[in-house]
Amino acid sequence: MNKRKTIFDTTLRDGEQTPGVSLTNEQKLKIARQLDKLGVDVLEAGFPISSMGERQNVRAIASEGLRLDVCGLARVLPKDLDACIDCGVDMIHTFVSTSDIQRIHTIKKSREEVVTMAVDAVERIKEHGVKCMFSAMDATRTDLDYLLEIFKAVENAGCDIINVPDTVGVMSPSGMYTLVRNVYNGVNIPIDVHCHNDFGIAVANSLMAVEAGASQVQCTINGIGERAGNANLAEVVMSLHSIYGAKTDINTEYLLETSKMVENYTGIHIPPNTPIVGDNAFAHESGIHTHGVLEQSDTFEPGIMTPEMVGHKRRIVIGKHAGRHAVKKSLGDMDIETTDEQLDEILSRVKDIANKGKRICDADLHAVASTVLGRNLGQETIILKEFSVMTGNLTTPTAVVRATIGNEEAIASNFGVGPIDAALKAVEQMIGGYTKVKVRDFSLEAITGGSDALAEVTISVEDEDGRVVSAQSASADIATASVDALITAINILLEKKKLWSMQ
């Protein structure tokens, strides 16, 4: 484990095979640049033979001048290999089915023919001076003696690294250790693993493979990929760093940033309880937990992994399980001071609201504190005066917002991919001279039924100093609810900013 482990990212190849995901050329280039910034060692850019568009994408990434190695995928067929070579990639990942079930029913070749095809492919790649990775597809369901035979054959042909894929995600962690250990003892070249997540153990299998001697792990950002996806890069890397004490070249402070980019481009939402990068990964609501974390963070966090290490932030969440320390801390962040009796009353009212099934936002806490203290806390810097959206099947969604900001009137308009996007962009543009904000989280829930259903929008926004505020609004018009929630959140952020600048 004290040797450096390398990370092979296949987000742009296996990740894009996620059902429903299709990335544009520009999105692929941006992800490739971000992965280079993140520090991955190899990027699998795509499968060039699959289409002319895919070939153009791979060629564009290969010519981008990135630090990492750009890899193209190819079957052990000359036309596939030539397509990769034509793209100018640094490495070719060539594969062929080796399990009896795939070999007999898909490619319909004998074991001897498969070995010959594999060797020929490796030799063709090396003749062109390109790095070669050979993958025995469905290795975890392949007879071990035959698997070792084909791995030794490609090693003798000049292969640089072999891949042991759990193609259908059926291997147990202990079984993965045993398999990779046998391969490790049978060959003299580096071993890479590619684990699928059909049973939710792709990361565990990848880590066991490293324990057994693998030096490289294939991953995807957010664990996306075929069926249930692949090993999640953030989870693999942080486990290697924090639990095993292993080294990689990953710049972990960009993990969250990279995750959010891929989430945005693919439309595959990250559940809040996702390890490392989920919104709740470093969030605390329970009174016992928040008390401990506020005193010393590693009382109820791993300690060996902090939010700052992965580009995240710790959050104290107010809800039905919150305690006095959490509420006092949140009020303190708003510069609201209370007596012990007032604090108890605010906590009681907060719990009453939460017990009705409502999520407590910063705006709710602010309103409760105002009521209990019997005075208006702060003032609205932004007061919405007018708001309209124009949309239709022949019209680019356009929003116009007019408001007073302080003593001045402001108006802004903007376009978007939909009415809500246009509305939020118009508000962000309107307040740009006062503060820079970005929407971190947006959720929508219908709270009544029928065609005139009342929709509740919850928005979390973050300013340029990293302060995060959440607010809710309900309306029969989704765009109106969205603008109201955003302006409420921004008003609280501006109040926090004013108080913070006075300290």
Q: Is residue 274 part of a domain?
A: no
Dihedral sign, CA of 185, 187, 189, 190?
Answer: negative
Task: Render pLDDT for 463-493 as a digit per residue (tens, 0 to 9).
Answer: 887 777 888 887 778 888 888 888 888 888 8
Residues 386 and 369 in one domain: no
Whichever domain contains 191, its CATH number is 3.20.20.70
User: What pLDDT, on a 0 to 100 scale, did the predictor assign at position 480?
Assistant: 85
Domain tally for the chain?
3
Q: Do residue 341 and residue 477 come from a single domain?
A: no
Is the model's pLDDT at 500 over the cut of 50? Answer: no
Residue 315 phi, psi (nearest 5) = -125, 135
Distance CA 374, CA 343 (A): 13
Q: Is the separation of the CB atoms in 305 and 271 below 8 Å?
A: no
38 in any annotated domain: yes
Average pLDDT for 189-198: 98
Q: What is the pLDDT at residue 378? A: 58
User: Within a domain: residue 276?
Assistant: no
Tens digits of per-residue pLDDT, 110-127? 999 999 999 999 999 999
173 lies in some domain: yes
What tokens does 320 get?
Answer: 């039905």
pLDDT exceeds 80 at position 353:
no
Q: How far apart are CA 226 and CA 178, in angstroms?
A: 25
Q: Are residues 217 and 76 in the same domain?
A: yes
Q: Are residues 368 and 392 in the same domain?
A: no
**CA distances (Å), origin 161, targets 93, 155, 281, 349:** 9, 8, 35, 62
Name the average pLDDT for the chain: 89
Domain that holds residue 310: 283-373
Predicted pLDDT of residue 289: 65
d(CA 269, CA 3): 35
Instruction: Give the predicted TM-score (pTM) of the model.
Output: 0.80
| Residue 1 belongs to a domain | no
Rounded to a whole number of angstroms, the CA Rg of the chain reads 27
Per-residue pLDDT of 377-434, as tens digits, reads: 556 788 889 889 888 776 788 999 999 988 888 999 999 888 888 888 898 888 887 7
Instruction: Indicate the pLDDT class of residue 134, thresholds 50, 70 and 90.
Output: very high
Q: Once rounded to an integer, what is the mean pLDDT over residues 352-363?
A: 74
In a domain? residue 301: yes
Q: Both 353 and 392 in a single domain?
A: no
